[in-house]
Structure 1
Amino acid sequence: MSGTRRWAGLGDAASVLVLAVAATVLLDALDTPSPSLFGGLLAGLVRGLAGRRRLTVPRSGMTAAQALIGVSVGGLVDVDTLAAIGQDWLAVLLVTIGTLLLTLLAGLLMRLQPGISPVTGAFGMIAGGASGITAMSRELGADERMVAVLQYLRVLLIVVLMPLAATVVFGVESGAGGPVTGEAGPGWPAGLLYAAVSVAVGLPLARLLRIPVPALLGSLLVAAVLDLSGLSRGAQLPAPLETVAFLLIGLAVGLNFTRESLRTIGRALPLALAVIVGVIVGCAGLGAVLTLTTGASALDAYLATTPGGLYAVLATARDGGADATFVLAVQVLRLFVMLLSAPLLARWLRRPDPA
């Protein structure tokens, strides 16, 4: 019986992967930005909502995908852009704080729904670090299941809307970022070595230093150092590996959205959708402020201030010709601010009401 279940599970996973690849090919033919990410998302959504049994991307697969994306983006880091961000640090910091306040207000609005506590609402709406916020929510007094559903509902909406916004509002075309990773440089064997060294050194180092999202940021930092120092000799992550990594990320987001999650959020769904859309629009407004105060392009500022969906942001930036260094720097700064402020927010929101 166990053997039959194992084969059924393998067949289930294989069918989802086939659907994801087919969706990716179709979206690529339609010149959709980030086709592998969006194709994986569509396949994951179909399986998550239609399947009776929960299916997830293995943790090892997610870690590998995050690490490979880190390598891909690390090769795009540009010193001049980092220096420019240093000059505009005040505007970037104020926009980051503005995002924090906006998501906190959104969380407090969730209190309008009976049964959602202030700390649960706030944690469910904090922008950035969905997995980290969910992991710490129970310890800090929030409803872990509700936080997870709200967080991934926000990520889902962002991933779905981002290709549309990039294409319709900002005129992004697929492949506008130039040659695909892996088509330049010394070739794929050197690219594989570059990726292997970046992951093998970056992941344990980031875990040792307790850096958030260690697979992504650890690999990214090492890859950037190798690239900027010239030690990589122009090597880049082979394009097929980057495609697979974004496809797995899209699958993971889609599979997290199940019929059970709909039942969990229940009557709060209409309010949650309205509040999340409000947060997305508000953050787009902060992006406009960032454009006016720093000189960043409208696309760069929009991607830099999007409230979550980091991997979709990186895929769109990579594929749409945006300044990935600027986008990533602002997103990572916000990630640190959100994760570090979460315990303080929980303590403040759980304080007893004055008599």
Structure 2
Amino acid sequence: MTGRARSPLAGALLVLVATVALTLTFSLLRVPSAVLFGSLLGGMTHALTSPTEIKVPPLAFRLGQALIGVTIGTLVSVEALQRMGGEIAPVLLVTLGTVVLSLGAGWLLSLRRDVSLVTGAFALIAGGASGIVALARDLDADERVVTVVQYLRVLIVLVTLPLVIGVVFQPETGLGTLSTEHGPLALDLLYVVAAAGGGLLLARVVRFSTATLLAPLLIAAVLASSGWLGDVAVPDPVQWVGYALIGVQVGLRFTRTSLASIARMLPVVTLLILAMLGLSALMGAALAWLTPADGLTAYLATTPGGLFAVLAIAADSGSDVTYVMAVQLFRLLVILLTMPVLARWLRRRDTESGDAA
């Protein structure tokens, strides 16, 4: 590592200034997850230009995971999940098919010597990018590769969505909008404190990998779905803090060697993502064939990423937003809840392959 040594305070100030400037720029350009990208590059700004190490307290990382868990848990709606009703069998089949598809793409990526099977799988798993990035280190995956590939997938999904929908489905637009109503700010903050604080305490008791994200997620889902606190949401600035805490710590772990390695794999990754998009569209066609859902609704329900953009398009085109949300959420929960078991299995396969070699 070359570069000018700077004090930890100067490095922290550089990271802060770069994070804010980049986040504002990305927000103006409408880049998805602008805060996470901005903080990621903010951390890299220091890591790639100075040998001075900046240590972020472990509590900050756990807090970031908890806030992302609460943000995801807020989306869980019992009404949306019940909407699937008697269609759970085909939805489960399509969900498992998407997971298998993701693992297959991850296995192909892991054929590279610089990518482990665990890293390849979680870099290309479809859905829940923020949660997967937050958990990558706990699962022994290379969080730098996982972050770059996950958000490249999201970006490609968002870029191709309007094109595919316009060419293939040609729906009417302006038929509806997403509701964003929620309760008073004080109630929202109470909800975040209860879910994140309670989840972190529970994670100290149960002590399993991913608990610092899953425990707050489950508590948030119960509180939000039960209606005990009314209509609640995670305030945007609180979400930004969660994304920034994760993004900065990932960025600070980059080196010039790791950055060059990731850059070399991007052409292969892009091809794998495009293949996943095509095969996911086939999953949508299967869902439309197996259920009463129309083609556009089924396609949006099985899109591998870009949840909020997908829901906005569903509302605008008059598709069944509740059904789209239900299928997307079901896949997200299946992925997040099975990640610890999946990670152990993948690590064992990695070890067996290494022993055989």
Q: What TM-score comes out, normalization by structure 1 length?
A: 0.69
After superposing the two structures, state which structure 1 stretch, 77-86 or 316-325, moved more: 316-325
Residue identity in the other structure for 1:19: A
Instruction: Note the C-alpha offset of 1:118.
Output: 8.0
Number of equivalenced pairs: 327
Quote the Cα distance in structure 2 between the aligned partners of 1:254 and 1:315.
Answer: 25
Counterpart residue number, 2:198: 201
The partner residue of 2:260 within 257, 263, 268 is 263
Counterpart residue number, 2:169: none
Residue identity in the other structure for 2:198: V
Note the residue ranges of structure 2 that are not aligned, 5 or more in a row: 127-131, 167-172, 316-320
Q: Deviations over 1:69-125 (max 9, x none)?
A: 443444443323212345333223322332343234334434765x46884686465
- Say if 1:71 and 1:220, in contact at 8 Å, map to a contact too: yes
- Say if 1:41 and 1:254, in contact at 8 Å, map to a contact too: no
After superposing the two structures, state which structure 1 stretch, 41-50 or 83-92, moved more: 41-50
Quote the Cα distance in structure 1 between the aligned partners of 2:236 and 2:93.
Answer: 36
- Say if 1:42 and 1:254, in contact at 8 Å, map to a contact too: no
Q: Deviations over 1:288-326 (max 9, x none)?
A: 4335434287477546552xx7xxx45546766654454
Q: 1:263 to 1:49 in 2, by over 3 A?
A: farther
- Say if 1:38 and 1:247, in contact at 8 Å, map to a contact too: no
Counterpart residue number, 1:38: 34
The partner residue of 2:18 within 16, 19, 23 is 16
Counterpart residue number, 2:148: 153
* Residue 191 of structure 1 pairs with residue 193 of structure 2: no
SS at match of 1:103: helix
- Say if 1:92 and 1:290, in contact at 8 Å, map to a contact too: yes
Instruction: Note the C-alpha offset of 1:15.
Output: 1.3
Instruction: Note the C-alpha offset of 1:213.
Output: 3.7
Counterpart residue number, 1:5: 7
- Say if 1:91 and 1:290, in contact at 8 Å, map to a contact too: yes
Q: 1:287 to 1:254 in 2, by over 3 A?
A: farther
Note the residue ranges of structure 1 that are not aligned, 5 or more in a row: 138-143
Quote the Cα distance in structure 2 between the aligned partners of 1:289 and 1:55.
Answer: 49
Quote the Cα distance in structure 1 between the aligned partners of 2:11 and 2:246.
Answer: 20
- Say if 2:102 and 2:125, in contact at 8 Å, map to a contact too: yes
State percent identity of aligned pairs: 28
Counterpart residue number, 1:127: 125
Quote the Cα distance in structure 2 between the aligned partners of 1:317 and 1:252.
Answer: 29
Counterpart residue number, 1:222: 219
The alignment's C-alpha RMSD in Å is 4.3
Instruction: Note the C-alpha offset of 1:150.
Output: 4.2
- Say if 2:91 and 2:327, in contact at 8 Å, map to a contact too: no
Q: 1:48 to 1:303 in 2, by over 3 A?
A: farther
The partner residue of 1:282 within 269, 279, 304 is 279
Counterpart residue number, 2:67: 68
Instruction: Note the C-alpha offset of 1:25.
Output: 4.6
